[in-house]
A and B are shown apart, each in its own frame.
Chain A
Amino acid sequence: MAEAAESPGDPGTATPRPLFAGLSDISISQDIPVEGEITIPMRSRIREFDSSTLNESVRNTIMRDLKAVGKKFMHVLYPRKSNTLLRDWDLWGPLILCVTLALMLQRGSVDSEKDGGPQFAEVFVIVWFGAVTITLNSKLLGGNISFFQSLCVLGYCILPLTVAMLVCRLVLLAEPGPINFMVRLFVVIVMFAWSIVASTAFLADSQPPNRKALAVYPVFLFYFVISWMILTFTPQ
């Protein structure tokens, strides 16, 4: 089918010119009747792509999605002004990051102390409702970014803070003391700045110029709260 669509076409052109003689041998337009409307080669290529994902193996599907998520992680770690996060948004990355962060931040079920750290549900709610609130805020201020694109960017930019959480947990295995706290403070501050820079690189262009600060401030508050939760985490 693809070869038939891509061939120089109707039998009218596959004629006595010596240049195309070989092609008329290769093309199978005589064997398979080409019926239906004539389509642009590009469109038929996409149709072929869509229909073939049903037949591929599960491993291919999962690896494709994982590669997309991994590519976006790289874009967050090395933020450049590019549209990759915005163009093909997905919410797998934010979900993975949020679940990881919430699992690491939750207080143990054995410890029923009333004023401990956040529960899993509290972290989850803060991350997702915070992201939704910031998205609504930027849309209400007149930004031209779509709802899910903004959620995607905000979710992916939690990656530096998740790395900070991992580092903090490792550092907390050592003996407690002021040096321990200083190291954790430094790591969290650096990752917090990285998150803000990464998300601003993606989000700032979508706002009208005289409202950029209004749209960026809630992002700052959001990552500040998450950094605070990471910094005050104490293992029981």
Chain B
Amino acid sequence: MAAADELAFHEFEEATNLLAQTPNEATPRGDQLVPQQHVAVAVDSGGSYGAEDEVEESDKTALLQEEKQQPGFWTFSYYQSFFDVDTSQVLDRIKGSLLPRPGHNFVRHHLRNRPDLYGPFWICATLAFVLAVTGNLTLVLAQRRDPSIHYSPQFHKVTVAGTAIYCYAWLVPLALWGFLQWRKGVRERMGPYTFLETVCVYGYSLFVFLPTVVLWLIPVPWLQWLSGALALALSAAGLVFTLWPVVREDTRLAAVLLLSVVVLLHALLATGCKFYFFQPLPLEPAAPPHQATSQPPTVLLSPPPPRSAAA
């Protein structure tokens, strides 16, 4: 017993001696890890992922990627890695989508290789419910002006709004990602975005429509069109600035075609929502509302009025 105690006591002394001799070495190593990780993901001008400049950085990114790939898709922690964001990060990403700048790539500067599913999912849910609620509120306001209009809660619009927004925000990124993967061979410098990053870009770009939809309550037509155009410009600009570095190396025709299709789909969504949920009711005061709501499916298919949003 005494011998074991003595041995244990000696080890403790050795450890304290080591720590006393080299007190500054332990902590900087811990500190160096953190800033180097930040540097590794921030230094990406031109998207040099596996940079052979510094072996340490590539080792760390390789470790990070290994850690990310470990849980299988059937485990809960696999999906937990998509919700690994803090409140401040989500707010920062929302701010980044509201104010797009030509040099700033949303994926590189705000997502930083950590796309999340929280933002896209809850922004789409909020937008669907806000669309249905404000659409119903315009009916209330219209009824006050013209009492012959029959008010009803119009609950089925919630289903329509939800389906439309979620299909747009998840199927269009899927198509875009597939197209970019298909054209992968043409690019040398910039790797294509992952599917989650594309979903993130689209999801956060829909945030600007939330205040716009609330502004559409004001029954002044030119204000509605102005705010709609502004929101569409901001949102589409964000998408274009994010996609431009990836598409730039492709043939000019493919690049222009892709960007114009993206902007066109976005414009279709905005005008479709405007026409379906915020119908100008005082124009048809005598007709009962459920006849008016039967025309929206054709409105969505008709071409939108010419917009100067892509400028």
A-side contacts of B289, CB under 8 Å:
115
Which residues on A are within 8 Å of B, measured CB to CB? 113-118, 122, 137, 139-142, 210-214, 217-218, 221, 224-225, 228-229, 232-234
Q: Which of B23-31, B118-126, B192-200, B266-274 contacts A (4 or more CB under 8 A)?
A: B118-126
Asked if A225 contacts B129 (CB within 8 A), the reply is: yes
Whole-angstrom distance from the CB of A27 to the nearest CB of chain B? 45
Known A113-B290, A115-B293, A232-B136; judge A221-B156 contact (CB<8 A). no
CA distance A229 to B157 in the complex (A): 13
Asked if B155 contacts A214 (CB within 8 A), the reply is: no
Whole-angstrom distance from the CB of A136 to the nearest CB of chain B? 9
**What are 7 pairs between A and B in contact, CB < 8 Å?**
A118-B153, A212-B87, A214-B87, A221-B125, A224-B129, A228-B133, A234-B153
Whole-angstrom distance from the CB of A113 to the nearest CB of chain B? 6
A-side contacts of B83, CB under 8 Å:
137, 140-142
Of the listed residues A139, A214, A217, the one surrounded by the most CB atoms of chain B closer than 10 A to its CB is: A214
CA distance A120 to B82 in the complex (A): 34
Considering only CB atoms and an 8 Å cut-off, how many residues of chain B contact the other chain? Answer: 28
Asked if A142 contacts B80 (CB within 8 A), the reply is: yes
Contact of B225 with A by CB under 8 A: no
A-side contacts of B155, CB under 8 Å:
115-118, 122, 229
Query: Whose C-beta in chain B lies nearest to the C-beta of A224?
Result: B129
Asked if B126 contacts A115 (CB within 8 A), the reply is: no
Query: Whose C-beta in chain B lies nearest to the C-beta of A220?
Result: B126
Asked if A234 contacts B151 (CB within 8 A), the reply is: yes
Report B154-166 CB contacts with A as 1/0, cut-off 8 Å: 1111000000000
Contact of B66 with A by CB under 8 A: no
CA distance A220 to B90 in the complex (A): 17
B-side contacts of A213, CB under 8 Å:
87
Asked if A214 contacts B153 (CB within 8 A), the reply is: no
> 8 closest pairs, A vs B, by CB?
A140-B83, A115-B154, A232-B153, A117-B153, A118-B155, A210-B86, A213-B87, A114-B290
A-side contacts of B186, CB under 8 Å:
none
Query: Whose C-beta in chain A lies nearest to the C-beta of B79?
Result: A140
Contact of B75 with A by CB under 8 A: no
CA distance A168 to B86 in the complex (A): 39
Query: Whose C-beta in chain A lies nearest to the C-beta of B121?
Result: A137
Which residues on B are within 8 Å of A, measured CB to CB? 76, 79-80, 82-88, 90, 118, 122, 125-126, 129, 133, 136, 151-157, 289-290, 293
Asked if A210 contacts B293 (CB within 8 A), the reply is: no
B-side contacts of A224, CB under 8 Å:
129
Query: Whose C-beta in chain B lies nearest to the C-beta of A119?
Result: B155
Asked if A116 contacts B152 (CB within 8 A), the reply is: yes
B-side contacts of A113, CB under 8 Å:
152, 290
Query: Whose C-beta in chain A lies nearest to the C-beta of B294?
Result: A114
Whole-angstrom distance from the CB of A191 to the nearest CB of chain B? 18
Asked if A114 contacts B153 (CB within 8 A), the reply is: no
Query: Whose C-beta in chain B lies nearest to the C-beta of A141?
Result: B83
Asked if A221 contacts B79 (CB within 8 A), the reply is: no
Whole-angstrom distance from the CB of B84 to the nearest CB of chain A? 8
User: Other than the known A229-B155, A234-B151, what 11 A-B pairs have Cβ atoms closer than 8 Å?
Assistant: A113-B290, A114-B156, A115-B156, A115-B290, A115-B293, A117-B153, A140-B79, A142-B83, A211-B86, A221-B129, A234-B152
B-side contacts of A142, CB under 8 Å:
80, 83-84
Whole-angstrom distance from the CB of A60 to the nearest CB of chain B? 40
CA distance A142 to B79 in the complex (A): 11
CA distance A233 to B155 in the complex (A): 10
CA distance A50 to B187 in the complex (A): 70
Whole-angstrom distance from the CB of A180 to the nearest CB of chain B? 14
Asked if B82 contacts A140 (CB within 8 A), the reply is: yes
Of the listed residues B151, B153, B293, the one surrounded by the most CB atoms of chain A closer than 10 A to its CB is: B153
Whole-angstrom distance from the CB of A210 to the nearest CB of chain B? 4
B-side contacts of A232, CB under 8 Å:
136, 153
Asked if A214 contacts B85 (CB within 8 A), the reply is: yes
A-side contacts of B151, CB under 8 Å:
234
CA distance A25 to B277 in the complex (A): 85
B-side contacts of A233, CB under 8 Å:
153
CA distance A228 to B76 in the complex (A): 34
Whole-angstrom distance from the CB of B116 to the nearest CB of chain A? 10
Of the listed residues B118, B126, B155, the one surrounded by the most CB atoms of chain A closer than 10 A to its CB is: B155
CA distance A211 to B89 in the complex (A): 10
A-side contacts of B290, CB under 8 Å:
113-115
